[in-house]
Structure formats: C-alpha cells, structure tokens
Structure 1
Amino acid sequence: MKHAYRRPESALVVIYDRQGRVLVMQRQDDPEFWQSVTGTLEVGELAFNTALREVREETGIDIQKAGYLLTDHRHTNQFAIRDIWQHRYPPGTPFNTEHVFSVQVAGDDQIILTEHLHYLWLDKISAMEKVWSDTNRLAIKDCVPDRFMPT
C-alpha cells in the first residue's frame, strides 16, 4: 500500500467573536499544543476552500451557511515542520507554507470538536500567549482588530 503524504501547504483560520474573544483549541496528539483551526490543502483544492472546510470539520461552524465572511489576508507564512510530524510529509520536506484567514462569528455558535480535546474563548492577548506556534501568534495579532484591546 502506498503511503499518502500530506502536501506541505495549509490554511490557518483565526476565529474570533463580536467581543474580540479568540477561539483556541488543544490538540489531541500534543496536549501542550493549542492552536487556531488549521489544515492541509487537498490535491486541487484552493486555500480558501480548505479554510471553509477545516472550520466546518474542526468546529462544526459552517461559515457560508451562517452568513459569516471568511477573510483571506493574502499572507503566507513558512515554518519548519516539527520533527514529530515529519513522517506525514514527503521525505526531504523541511517547510510548510501556511495561508492566513480569519472569520468573525457571533460567539454563540455551538462548537463541535472532532480533532481536538478542548477549546477556549480567550481575549486577544491571552490567545496569543496560549497558542504554541509563532505563526499562529502573529496571525492572531494581525487578524483580530485592535478595537478589542483593553485601553
């Protein structure tokens, strides 16, 4: 049986609500790793469609059905693939390219976890402190409007 490797290209979606709280989720395979929605682009799939699909799969929120606006920040990050996940990618693939998106939700959406242990709604600063990756931290900083910051 041939091993199907992941593409080293993903979508990251920062979800925040009308109060500026950011949704962060705890990974099942590494409980120290908290993150926003993220997922690999499938063959032939556009990053925008990956973002829509991953939010639906990981949280149960259907952005289009709910009438939310998915924002493509037209920004990509490149980061080194963690050693513990290297086996998922073709041999010799050191980096992943991540497309950054965000969506503002009402905040009363039912969250249905399928790939994570727990979730939290945190203020912007706390969310930036909680997430594991630098690229996720930067995405929260850049995507969640500053009007939600304490004065």
Structure 2
Amino acid sequence: MSYKKPESVLVVLFDKHHRVLILQRQDDANFWQSVTGALEAGEQPIDAAYREVAEETGLILSPDACPIEDCACINRYEIRPRWQHRYPPGTTHNTEHVFRACIDSRLPLQLTEHLHAEWVSKDEALTRLWSPSNREAVAKFVGVPQ
C-alpha cells in the first residue's frame, strides 16, 4: 500500500457573489468540504492546488485565466482516526496549505470524488463544512479583496 503524505492543500472556491462551492464526500455523507488533497512526492503546494481542483471538479484553472491565490496560511490538525491508516504508521497530524480562487459558478462541474456539489452562501458554508480549518479559511478568505 502506498501511504499519503501528511501534507495537503485546501482550495476554497467561491464566486463573485461570495457563494462558496462545497462538496459532499463519498465516504461520509455528513462531511462537506472544499477541494482538498495530499501533495504527491516532489510536488509544490500550488501545483497540488491546481491538480486537486482539476481532479475533484473537472475545472482546469490557470495562472493566467483563473489564478489560484496562496492565502499564506498553513494549518496543522489531527487526522481523523478513521483515516489514519492512509498515512505512514504513527502519523497523527497533517499540514495543510490554504488557497482560494474566485471562479464562475456557472461552469459545469465533473465530480469524481464526491457525491454532490452545491454553491451556497458564505454563512451556509460556515454551518455545513465539517472541518474547523475549512470553516476558518472560508471565514477569513471569502469576501475580502484578492
């Protein structure tokens, strides 16, 4: 088995009306989140952010047409016990790099890793997102000038 690296990206996607894209996980229907995923070997966080957005939503963003912005925020959190088997033995914490991008909410999504996607108000996102670090990122980085 190949273990995940305990370093990941969180990419908060929102539109010009400050509505936030939230995604419902396949393995836990009560877990709503933004785009997130582990860095691959040798990958830089910004590259992982672009890759994860493409993999999870089908949206191909680019630095020229639709840039992903580094929020200069890094979180460290405890990995849920039910997911610790995905990481090297003894790994209990993950380091998360936070990014954001303002995108057109009319673009069609192609979900590959989630059951459902919804565009919701910032307030609704703050009540439905499972992860505290995800809620903090939405609170801090959605609705402020880029």
Q: Cα gap change, 1:130/1:66 in structure 2, threshold over 3 Å: closer, same or farther?
A: farther
For 1:131-150, what per-residue CA distance to the aligned partner results, in whole angstroms no more than 9, with x for missing partners? 00100000001110158xxx
Output the CA distance in 2 between the equivalents of 1:94 and 1:10.
14
Output the CA distance in 2 between the equivalents of 1:6 and 1:64.
26
TM-score between the two structures when normalised by the length of structure 2: 0.96
- Residue-pair matches, total: 145
Which of the pair has more CA radius of gyration? 1
1:12 maps to amino acid: L
Output the CA distance in 1 between the equivalents of 2:28 and 2:116.
12
Deviation at 1:57, TM superposition (A): 0.5
Output the CA distance in 2 between the equivalents of 1:88 and 1:66.
35
Output the CA distance in 2 between the equivalents of 1:66 and 1:21.
23
Output the CA distance in 2 between the equivalents of 1:75 and 1:19.
23
Q: 2:26 aligns with which of 28, 36, 39?
A: 28
RMSD value, Cα: 1.3
Q: Cα gap change, 1:101/1:141 in structure 2, threshold over 3 Å: closer, same or farther?
A: same
TM-score between the two structures when normalised by the length of structure 1: 0.93
Output the CA distance in 2 between the equivalents of 1:90 and 1:69.
33
Q: Which runs of 4+ in 1 moved over 6 A?
A: none
Q: 1:59 aligns with which of 57, 60, 64?
A: 57
In the alignment, structure 2 segments of 5+ residues that lack a partner are none
Output the CA distance in 1 between the equivalents of 2:102 and 2:64.
11
